[in-house]
C-alpha cells in the first residue's frame, strides 16, 4: 500500500469523498482483496485508538500531537514536485498503536468467535408446542441458528419462558440480528430468573461481535462474581485491557 491509499482510506471514513469517488472506491474494494484487507486493518487501528482514548476529544488531541511530530520530522525534507494535502497522523498510526496500545499488531483485540461457546439446549415440554420446540432444540444444538429462529418464534407465541427466550436470543445473535437479540437479553437482564446473568454475558458478547470494545468492557464489569462463567468474563476483560 502506498501513502495515497491511506489518504483515501481516511477520506472515505471521514465521509470526505464525493459520491462518485465513494462508489469508485467501493468498487475497488470489491475487486481487490489486498486493498480490502488493508482497509479493514486501517479501520481496526482507528477503532482501537478511539476505544483506547475513550472519547473523540482525546483521540483528536492525540492526532494533533502526531501532526506536530510528523511536521517536525519532515520539515527539513526536500520539497516535492507535487504537494498533496493530507493528515500526517495517518502514517504514524501503526507505530503509535504498537507503543501506546500494547503492541496491538501482536496482541489484537479478542474475537467473538473465541467466546461464543454455548451450552446445549435441552427442553422437557409437553403439549401442542412439542414439535416446534423439539425442532428448535435440534437446530440450535446443530448450530443451525437460522433454522432455529422461526421455530423459537412459533413456540414463544404460545409459551414464553426465560429458558426459551435465552436460547432464542443466542440464535438471534448468531444470525446477526443484533438489535432483536439485545432486546431479548435486556428483558432477561431486567428479570430475576437464572438466565439474568447469562443474559448480561451475552449482551457483552453482542458488543464484542460489533467490536464495540468499550461497551463490552462496561457490561462485563457488571457481572457478579457468583456468575457460573465469571472466570470467562474475567478472561475477556483481561484481553480487552
| Boundaries of every domain in the chain | 3-100, 112-240
Q: Which residues of 152-188 are buried (b: 16+ CB within 10 A; e: fewer)?
A: beebbeeeeebebbbbbbbbbbbeebeebbbebbeeb
Q: What is the pLDDT of residues 161-203, one digit of tens each?
A: 999 999 999 999 999 999 999 999 999 999 999 999 999 999 9
48, 98 Cβ separation under 8 angstroms: no
What would the pLDDT profile of 31-86 be if each residue is shown by its tens digit?
888 888 888 887 877 776 666 555 556 556 655 655 555 455 445 444 444 444 44
The correct CATH number of 112-240 out of 1.10.540.10, 1.20.1050.10, 3.40.50.10800, 1.25.40.10 is 1.25.40.10
Determine if the pTM surpasses 0.85.
no
Instruction: Tell me what pLDDT residue 2 has.
Output: 61
The alpha helices in 75-129, defined as continuous H runs, are 93-100
Half-sphere exposure of 119 (CA within 13 A, CB side): 11
Amino acid at each position: 500500500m502506498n501513502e495515497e491509499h491511506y489518504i483515501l482510506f481516511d477520506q472515505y471514513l471521514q465521509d470526505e469523498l464525493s459520491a462518485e469517488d465513494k462508489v469508485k472506491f467501493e468498487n475497488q474494494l470489491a475487486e481487490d482483496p489486498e486493498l480490502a484487507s488493508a482497509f479493514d486493518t486501517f479501520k481496526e487501528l482507528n477503532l482501537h485508538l478511539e476505544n483506547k482514548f475513550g472519547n473523540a476529544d482525546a483521540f483528536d488531541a492525540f492526532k494533533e500531537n502526531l501532526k506536530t511530530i510528523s511536521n517536525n520530522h519532515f520539515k527539513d525534507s526536500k520539497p516535492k514536485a507535487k504537494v498533496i494535502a493530507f493528515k500526517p497522523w495517518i502514517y504514524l498510526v501503526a507505530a503509535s498503536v504498537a507503543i501506546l496500545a500494547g503492541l496491538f499488531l501482536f496482541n489484537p483485540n479478542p474475537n467473538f468467535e473465541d467466546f461464543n461457546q454455548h451450552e446445549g439446549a435441552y427442553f422437557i415440554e409437553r403439549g401442542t408446542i412439542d414439535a416446534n420446540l423439539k425442532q428448535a432444540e435440534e437446530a440450535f444444538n446443530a448450530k443451525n441458528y437460522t433454522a432455529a429462529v422461526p421455530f423459537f418464534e412459533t413456540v414463544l407465541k404460545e409459551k414464553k419462558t426465560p429458558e426459551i427466550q435465552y436460547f432464542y436470543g443466542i440464535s438471534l445473535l448468531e444470525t446477526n440480528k443484533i438489535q432483536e437479540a439485545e432486546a431479548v437479553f435486556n428483558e432477561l437482564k431486567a428479570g430475576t430468573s437464572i438466565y439474568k446473568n447469562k443474559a448480561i454475558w451475552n449482551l457483552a458478547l453482542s458488543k464484542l461481535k460489533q467490536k464495540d470494545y468499550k461497551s463490552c468492557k462496561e457490561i462485563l464489569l457488571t457481572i457478579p462474581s457468583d456468575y457460573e462463567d465469571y472466570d470467562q468474563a474475567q478472561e475477556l476483560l483481561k484481553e480487552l485491557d
